[in-house]
Amino acid sequence: MVYKYDFLIIGSGVAGMSYALKVARAHKGKVCMICKTSLNEANTYFAQGGVASVTNLLKDNFKKHIEDTMIAGDYISDPKAVEQVVTMAPEQIKELVNWGVSFDRKDNGEFDLHREGGHSEFRILHHADDTGAEIQRGLMEAVRSNPDIDIKENHFAVEIITQHHLGARVTRRTPYINCYGAYVLDPDTQKVDTYLSKVTVMCTGGCGAVYQTTTNPVIATGDGEAMVYRAKGTVQDMEFVQFHPTSLYHPGETHPAYLITEAMRGYGGILRLPNGESFMEKYDKRLSLAPRDIVARAIDREMKTHGLDHVCLDVTHKDPEETRHHFPNIYAKCLSIGIDITKEYIPVRPAAHYMCGGIKVDLNGCSSINRLYAIGECSCTGLHGGNRLASNSLIEAVVYAETAARHSIEHVDEYDFNDKVPDWNDDGTMTNEEQVLITQSVKEVGEIMSNYVGIVRSDLRLKRAWDRLDLLYEETENLFKRVKVSKELCELRNMINTGYLITRMAIERKESRGLHYTIDYPVHAYDKK
C-alpha cells in the first residue's frame, strides 16, 4: 500500500505530539503519526521529575538557567540552542497548560516549583512525581480528539526513504540527500507499506534499551538515530549517555527499571551505603545534589569498591506525611515490593537514562537530510552538550516542536510527493530458529554495552565492544537480507547501529568530558597543563 501525508511523524512522545498539534492547527495538509506501540508508551510517560522553565521572575532569570545548562553540559553545549530553549520555555509551558496539562500549584495559584541537581534556583514545574505521565495524558487527549491527525498505533518505521531507494548512489559526502517518507511495517498485514511525505519528522525517543538496565521502556532501541545514520545523515555526540544515578534496584525489572526521581534528593534524600554510611562528601561539595554524572560515577565506584549491587537513598529523616504527599507513586511502588520509604532505605543503582547526542539538527530542528526534521531525545540540538541538566529535556522537546513546526509549515508547499519510490522488497520467511537468534543477539548487545561502554570506560573495554558489535552486525545484516522483515529484527539492527555509534564516538573522544569518563584519559580537558 502507498499512503500520502504532508507531515509524517515517526514517534509519539511529547515532541511528536506537540509537533502534530502545532502543524494540525495550521491546516496545511494531512498529518500522520506512526507509533511503534500504543500512543502512551513513550519515554515521556516515564519522566517523573518535571519541566525546567523560568517562571518565578522575582528570584529567577534566563541568565541563571542558561548558566546552569552550560555548566552541566561541560561547556560543550551550543550557546544559541541553550538561549533558544531557555527563553522560549515560558511560552511553551503556557501552551502545554492550554492543551490540558496540569502542573501542581500552591494555594495562591503560583506554580509549586521543585529544585533539582545542577539548578541554582527552584524552577522545576511538576505534577506530583509523575509529570511525564501527566504531560503524555494531556497531549494524548488533545491529539486523539483532533480530527486532522491520523494515528497509526503498533506500526514500525523500518527505513526512511531517500534517493538511495531510487537507485542513486548516496554517500556521506552526497550534498543533497532528500527524504521522501518512510517504509512502515503494518502489524495486521505483516507487509511493509510506503508512506510518502512532503515533510518527515523523526521523534523516536531514546536508546536506553541498548543497555542491560535502563529507565527507558523496552522500545527505546535508538531507531531514529540508526535509520538516519544508515541514510547517511549526520549523527553527533553519541558518547554522552546519561546514566540516572538512582533507579530502583529490583532484580527482574530492568526495561524499564523504576526511576527514583532526582527531586527526591532535592527534597533532602541522602545517598548511603547499605550500612548507613554516607559517601557523597568524598566526591563533591554539593553532596547528593551534585550533577548526575558525578553522582552516577560516585555510586558506580562505591558499588565496585565494596562489591555491592546497589546503594541506598535515605528519606527516613523527613516527615512521613510530607514524603507520602510529594512522592505518592514512589511510595506506593516501593511498598509493593515490601519497602516503606518513610522507615527504610530505598535500594538504588545507576541505569542508562538519556541520550544527550543524536541526529544533528539546527535551531529549526532540520537534520542534514533535506525535508527531514528530528526533535526530542533522538535529536542532538546542542542544548545538552556533554551532560543534560535535569528536567531540560521535556522543555527542549516542546520548544523544538515549535521551531520545527514553524519552519516546516513555511516550507511544506515547496515540496512534492515522489511517486517514483518503489515498493519494499518483501521476499523471505522467518523461522522460529531465527527468532531465537534475534533474542540472543539482543541480550548480547545489552551485555556488551553495559560491561564495556558504561559509566566508566577504557580503550581496552571500548575496543572489545567494537569487535563484538562488529561480529553481531555482520550476522544481523546477513539475516536481514535473507528473511522477511519483522519488528524484532529491525530493532536489533537499530540497537547494533546505535551501540556502534556510541562506541565509535567514545573511542574518538580522547579526554574525560561530561558524561564520557575514561580511565585512559582521566584528566579533564580544563585541567590539562
For residues 412 and 368, give the distance between their C-alpha atoms in angstroms, rounded to a whole number: 17
**Radius of gyration over alpha carbons of the chain, in Å?**
22
CB 255 within 8 A of CB 305: no
Question: Both ends of the chain: CA-CA distance in Å?
Answer: 62
Q: Where are any strands of DSSP class E within 375-519?
A: 379-380, 456-457, 517-518
CA distance 231 to 90: 36
Alpha-carbon gap, residue 105 to 199, rounded angstroms: 38
Q: Do 158 and 184 contact (CB within 8 A), yes or no?
A: yes
The contacts of residue 182 (CB under 8 Å, 6+ apart) are: 8, 10, 34, 157, 158, 159, 160, 161, 195, 197, 200, 227
Phi-psi region of 204 (alpha: psi -120 to 50; beta: other; left: phi over 0): alpha
95 class by beta-carbon count within 10 Å (0-12 exposed, 13-18 middle, 19+ buried)? middle
What amino acid occupies position 502? I
Closest CA to 94 of 365, 395, 388: 395
3-state DSSP assignment of residue 486: coil
Residue whose grid cell is 559517601 = 279
Q: Say if CB 474 and CB 462 are below 8 A apart.
A: no
Cis peptide bond upstream of 245, omega within 30:
no
Grouping H, G, I as helix, E, B as strand and the rest as coil, residue 368 is coil
Exactly one of 292, 349, 461, 468 is catalytic; name it.
292
Cα dist. 376→33, 122, 206, 358 in Å? 15, 24, 9, 10
Active site residue 292: yes
Amino acid at 252: G
Three-state secondary structure along 424-460? CCCCCCCCHHHHHHHHHHHHHHHHHHHHHCCCEECHH
Which is nearest to 12 in space by CA: 162, 167, 135, 98? Answer: 135
User: Across-strand partners of 114?
Assistant: 124
The CA distances from residue 143 to 17, 219, 320, in Å, are: 7, 21, 39
- Write out the three cell numbers for 74: 561541560
Among 269, 293, 171, residue whose Cα is nearest residue 284: 293
- Residue from 97, 107, 165, 160 nearest 134 by CA: 97
Spell out the alpha helix ranges (H) of 168-319.
223-230, 263-266, 292-306
H or E element at residue 188: none
Unique residue bearing C-alpha cell 544481523:
476
- Please give the positions annotated as active site: 292
